[in-house]
Structure 1
Amino acid sequence: MVEVSGHLLRGPVFLAGETLQCEINFHHPGLLSAESGDGNSGNKIRLAWASVQIICQCTVSESRVILPRGPLPSTVDVSTTGCDTSFVPNKGERGLTVLSTKPKILFCDLSLQPRQTKTFRYEDCIPTDSPPSYRGQAVKYSYKIIIGTQRFQQPTKLLRIPFRVLVLYGLNDLSVYNEGEEVAPSNPFLRPKQKENAVLDIATQVMATVTARKSPHSYNITNSHGRVAKLLLFKQAFKLGDDIVGVFEFKEGNVPCVQYSVTLQSEEQISEECRHKLGQGSAITSFVKHQEMCLHVDETHMAIPIPLTASPGFITDIVCLRWRLHFEFVTLSDPGKKSDVVNKIGDDFTSWRGPANINVETMVWDLPIKIFPANPLHVSGVTLIKSGASMKV
C-alpha cells in the first residue's frame, strides 16, 4: 500500500493567469502483510507512473440549458472498461470538460522502500481565458487537480483536489501594465528576473483602481404621487468582501415612505442559443437584505456586505452573471390624508400615535452594480474548500 497525498501550497483559491503550485507525496507506510498479495520482491513497492492535470467540468441543468455541442457525456461514457490502466482525468466526472491542461508526468517506474517518501512539485499556469468557478441554478463550473497513478498489474487510481478560480478580465497581456518600468540592459548569459507573483500584484492594483471611491452617484426616487427619497451611492463597482454603503434622504420628499428594503441579488441569464425554452427568464438569487422602517425619518443609511463566497460578474458562451441592488419602497397611497394623531405635551414635547390602518403601495427598482474579484489570499480564509486530499494505492 502507498499513501498518495497532494497539498496546494498557497491555498485553494487562485486568479486565472496565476501559477498553481501543488506538493505531491508518495509514502510507503511500512511493512506489508503477507496476505496483501503484493507480488514484489521483499517489501519494496513499485509504481508504474504518475501524472497530473487540471480540468474544469461544466455541469448544466438539462431542464434549463441545451448545449449546442450535443448531449452531456454521462459517467458511464467516460469510465469505460478499456480505460482501467490509462490516465483519463475526467473518469467518473459528470458534465462536459471545458478546460483541460496538458498532463505532466511526475515519474515512471518509482520504487519505494518501507517508510520511504518521495515528494514532487507540480506547477502549472491557469489559462487567463478560463471560466470562473461558479455554482448557479442552471450552470456549474468546478475545477480540480487530477493526480493519476498506477501500480504494476493494477488499475489506475485518481486523486482529486478541488480549488476555486476567480477571473479578472483584462489580464491577458501583462506588458500593458509594465510600460512605465525602466528598461535595463539585458545579459544573454543570465536568466531574466521575474517577480514571484506578478499576476497577483498587477491584479490587486487593477482591482483597487476600478473599485476606488470616486464622485458619489445621486438618484431621485419618485412615483406617480411625487418624490419619495434621494439616494446617494458612493460607488457602483465593488470587490468581494466590500460593503455597499448608501445614504437615503427623505426630508425633501413629498410622499411619505413607511418602509424600505434593499437586497443584493445576482441574475443568472442563459444565452439565447443555449436556452431550453424561448421565453425562459433569468434566475434571481438573493444574498443579503437590509430592511428599515423610515416613517418620519429625515435621513438614514444602508450597509450591505458582499460575501467573499459569492461569484463576481462574468460572461461565457453559456451563461452571463450580473449583479444588482433590488429596492422596495412602501409608501402612503394617499399622502395628503392625515390619519395620525399628534398631541402636544408642554412647549417642548409632543406625542405621536400612529394610525391603526393605512393604505400603502409598493414600488420596486433595480440598480445594476459591478462586482469584481478580491485578493485570492483573502478569499481563501473563508472558503470551505480543503487545500489537500489523500488516497491509498
Structure 2
Amino acid sequence: MIEVVASLSRGPVFLAGETLECLITFTNPLSHRSTSASSEMLAWASAQIHCQFHASENRVMLPSETPKQDVQAENETVLVPNRGERGQCFLATPPKILFCDLRLDPGESKSYSYRETVPVEGPPSFRGQSVKYVYKLTIGCQRVNSPIKLLRVPFRVLVVHGVEDTQFHHDEAVAPSNPFLEEEEGTKKDSRLVELATEMLMMATSRRSQHLFNITNARGKVGKFCIFKTIYRIGEDIVGTFDFSEGDIPCLQFSVSLQSEEHVLEKYQRRPNQPASLTAHARHQESCLHTASTHFCLPIPLSATPGFSTDIVALRWRLHFEFVTAGEPMEPPTVPENQSEIITWTGAEQINVDTFSWDLPIKVLPTNPVLASYVAQFSGANSIMI
C-alpha cells in the first residue's frame, strides 16, 4: 500500500488569479506486522483544479443538454477529476503530470510540488439553497492494471473584481518585503496580488459618510436611523444607531437581521415570480420603550460568501428591520417630588401595536484570503491509501 498525502501550503482559501501550491507526498510505509515488505510501484499521477456546479432541481431549471458519456467508464487510464461527483464540471484547468513509473522501497517517500493559477473567469465558492460552486484539487493515481484512485482537496475561492486586469511591472515585483528573505518570482507576484486586492478592498470599504433615514409608519414618525457606510468586507462589524427621542409614535421593540438573498435569474426559475432564498447570518433584537437612543452591532461572518452574480444566480445582501410600535401615545413614568416611599412602575398589561418592516440593501465584499483561512471549514490537507 502507498499513502498519498496532499497539503495546501498556504491554507485552504485563495483569490481568483492567485497561484495555488500543494505539496503531494507518496510514501511506502514500513509494516510493523510483517517483515516481508516489498517495493511498491505507481504507473503515474497527475493533478488538476476543477469547479463543480450543482443546481437544485426544485428551484433551478437548466436548459436540457445531451448527456455526456463518462470517459472514465470507457478508459480506465484517463483522469476524470469529477468522476462520481454531483452536478457538472463548471471549469477545469489542464491536468499536470506529477510523475510516471514511480518505485518506492519500504519506508521511502517522495514529494512533488503542484502549482496552478486559480482561474479568474470562475465564480466564487458558494453553497446556496439554489446552486453550489465547489472548488477542488483532484490528484489521480494509478497502479499498473488497476483503476484510478482519486484524492480530492477542497478549497475556497474569493473573487475581487478588477485585480485580474492589473499588469505587474517587473521592477514592481522584484523587491521582497523582507530583504533577508529570497522569494521566488511566482511568490512575489502572488504576494503583490493579495496586497493589491487588500488595498482595493480597504479603499472601497473605508469611505464613511453619514446616512440618515427617517423611520415612519402610517401614524407618524417613529425615529431616526443612522449608519456610516453601506459597503463592508466579510469579517467586519455593521454598526448602526437609533434615535427615538423625537418620535411621535413610541417604539416598543425592534430587530435587525443581516440577510443574504439568493436570486435565480428569471429565465432559469423553476416557477414564475419565484421568491429569493433568504439566509440570516446575524440578528439583534431589543425592547426599547422609553428609550431615547440605542445601537446595534452585527458581525459579518468570515465564512459568508460576498455578493456576486453569474448567468444563473445573483447573491445580494441587506439589513432587514422589523419594528413594533404602540397604537397610541404612552406617557413615560413620573416620580412625584419629595417622594419618601419606593414606587414600582409596572408596564401596561395590554397595548395595541402596529408592526412594519424595512429593508436596507448593503454590499459585502471579500477580504484577505489569509484572514479567511482561519475559519475555513476545510483543513487544506487530505490523504488516501492506494
Q: TM-score, normalised by structure 1?
A: 0.89
Q: Which amino acid aligns with 1:65?
A: V
Deviation at 1:353, TM superposition (A): 3.0
Residue aligning to 1:91 = 83
Pairing partner for 2:357 from 358, 361, 364 = 364
Instruction: Determine if contact 1:270/1:319 at 8 Å carries over to the other structure.
Output: yes
Task: Say whether residues 1:355 and 2:355 are aligned partners.
Answer: no
Q: How much is the aligned-residue C-alpha RMSD, in angstroms?
A: 2.8
SS of the aligned residue for 1:221 comes to strand
Pairing partner for 1:312 from 300, 306, 320 = 306
Q: Which amino acid aligns with 1:221?
A: I
Listed as ranges, the matches of 1:1-393 within 5 Å are 1-30=1-30, 43-68=38-63, 70=65, 78=70, 81-175=73-167, 194-335=188-329, 342-344=334-336, 346=338, 352-393=345-386
CA distance in 1: counterparts of 2:308 and 2:344, whole angstroms: 53
Instruction: Determine if contact 1:72/1:96 at 8 Å carries over to the other structure.
Output: no
CA distance in 2: counterparts of 1:305 and 1:346, whole angstroms: 47
Deviation at 1:356, TM superposition (A): 1.0
Deviation at 1:21, TM superposition (A): 0.4
What per-residue deviation string (whole Å, max 9, x for no partner) do you get for residues 235-278 of structure 1?
10111110000111111111111111000001000011211112
CA distance in 2: counterparts of 1:20 and 1:174, whole angstroms: 19
Over 3 Å counting, the alpha-carbon distance change for 1:281 and 1:126 in structure 2 is: same
CA distance in 2: counterparts of 1:7 and 1:31, whole angstroms: 24
Deviation at 1:345, TM superposition (A): 5.3
Can you give the 5+ residue segments of structure 2 that lack an aligned partner in the other structure?
A: 176-183
Q: Which amino acid aligns with 2:23?
A: E
Over 3 Å counting, the alpha-carbon distance change for 1:257 and 1:192 in structure 2 is: closer
SS of the aligned residue for 1:281 comes to coil
Deviation at 1:28, TM superposition (A): 1.0
Deviation at 1:371, TM superposition (A): 0.4
Identity fraction in percent:
47
Over 3 Å counting, the alpha-carbon distance change for 1:294 and 1:180 in structure 2 is: farther
Can you give the 5+ residue segments of structure 1 that lack an aligned partner in the other structure?
A: 37-41, 185-190
Deviation at 1:71, TM superposition (A): 7.8
Instruction: Determine if contact 1:345/1:351 at 8 Å carries over to the other structure.
Output: no
SS of the aligned residue for 1:210 comes to helix
Q: TM-score, normalised by structure 2?
A: 0.90
Q: Which amino acid aligns with 2:6?
A: G
Deviation at 1:341, TM superposition (A): 6.1
What per-residue deviation string (whole Å, max 9, x for no partner) do you get for residues 137-165 of structure 1?
11111111000011111111000001111
CA distance in 1: counterparts of 2:35 and 2:136, whole angstroms: 35
Count of paired positions: 376
SS of the aligned residue for 1:63 comes to coil
Deviation at 1:286, TM superposition (A): 1.0
CA distance in 1: counterparts of 2:275 and 2:362, whole angstroms: 20
CA distance in 2: counterparts of 1:192 and 1:157, whole angstroms: 33
Deviation at 1:181, TM superposition (A): 6.4
Q: Which amino acid aligns with 2:9?
A: L
Instruction: Determine if contact 2:72/2:78 at 8 Å carries over to the other structure.
Output: no
Q: Which amino acid aligns with 1:235?
A: K
Instruction: Determine if contact 1:79/1:92 at 8 Å carries over to the other structure.
Output: no
SS of the aligned residue for 2:194 comes to helix
Deviation at 1:352, TM superposition (A): 3.6
Over 3 Å counting, the alpha-carbon distance change for 1:178 and 1:257 in structure 2 is: farther
Residue aligning to 1:187 = none
